[in-house]
Each structure stands twice: as structure tokens, then as C-alpha cells.
Amino acid sequence: MNLHQLENAPGARRKAKRKGRGHASTLGKTAGRGQKGQKARSKVAPGFEGGQTPLRRRLPRRGFKNPFKARFHIVNLRDLARRPLLADKTTIGLDDLIAANLIDKTVKKPAENGEGFTRKPRYPVKVLGTGDLGRAVTVQAHRFSRSAAEKIKAAGGEAVVIEG
């Protein structure tokens, strides 16, 4: 099959309604908007209910969103074991996690040597103990769960806590 042989499924594409093309079209003159009023004209705010208090304002706000909640990038041991980019490394740091796409939200910051930019994680990185590492490796992160630290040490590696 080639690109020029592709076709849409039957009924997937319909012609647009041609509005304002005379009385015979049933969408002439007012183009299906009725007569007069705010909705017959061009702009009505989304969620506008004709002056009635809108639903989003009638419903109560629930719960509490803690602005001081500690956020972390979560990395599991099984992720470290599965990534091909990390397979031959003896030390896994933040730069390696970013290169292996295990940390998705990063921030560009100026490099220490003043040339170009480096990528830093937006939140601290926490390593959790889901899965097995299966080899001796030194892992550098901001936090480790107890099970992750135990599994890394059991495999002959080391869990190094980074400050910052």
C-alpha cells in the first residue's frame, strides 16, 4: 500500500453544511440560529446560561490543595534495569536518567562553565523499589525508598543521596 492509495472509511468525511445560501437550503437567511437574541449574534461566552448562575459557580469547591506538597520524579528499579541506555553504566546519575527519558519534566539552566545550557530535573528524584536491578550499580538520586536502597545494596551496588 502506498500513500496515494489511502482512503477514508466510508462515512468518515461529510460535507460541511452550507449556511446562508437562500430559503430553499433550510439554512438560509438566519443560518439555523433562529431570530434575534444573543445566540443569533456572533459571541456567546462558553458556559453562559442566559444570566442564570453557571453550573461551574453553582457547584461547591471540594477538598484542599496543599501548596507545600513535596513533589518528586518517581523512578523504579525495574525502569533502571530495562533501559538499554543504562545497561552498561556502573554509575547512574541525574544526567543519565534524563538521557534515558525516565525524567520527563526538565528545566534548561546555564551550564557551570558558562557555555550553553544543561538540563536539570524540575523536582527531586526518588527511586522506588519496584522490580529488581539484577547487577551492581551506583545510583545517585535525591531520595530512596527503604526497599530500593536494600535491593541496590543486595545486588552489590550503592545508593548515593544527592543534596539539593
CATH number at residue 95: 3.100.10.10
SS3 at position 80: helix
The reply to whether 30 falls in a domain is no
Position 45 in a domain = no
In a domain, 102, yes or no: yes
Q: In whole angstroms, what is the distance from residue 90 CA to residue 84 CA?
A: 13
Confidence of residue 120 (pLDDT cuts 50, 70, 90): confident
Question: 156 lies in a domain?
Answer: yes
Q: What is the pLDDT of residues 36-87, one digit of tens each?
A: 888 888 888 888 898 899 999 999 999 998 999 999 999 999 999 999 999 8
Cell numbers representing residue 85 in the block:
541506555
Instruction: Write out the residue range of the structural domain in which residue 89 sits.
Output: 77-161
Within a domain: 12: no
Residue 90 is predicted with a pLDDT of 93
- Residue 125 inside a domain? The answer is yes
Largest CA distance in the chain: 83
Amino acid at 129: G
Strand 125-128 relative to strand 73-76: parallel, antiparallel, unpaired?
parallel
How far is it, in rounded angstroms, from Cα 73 to Cα 83?
17
Cα gap 12→34, rounded to integer Å: 29
**How many domains are there within the chain?**
1
pLDDT digits (tens, 9 = 90+) for 87-115: 889 999 999 999 999 998 888 888 777 78
Q: Residue 54: helix, strand or coil by DSSP?
A: coil
Has residue 148 been placed in a domain? Answer: yes
Q: Could you tell me if residue 126 is inside a domain?
A: yes
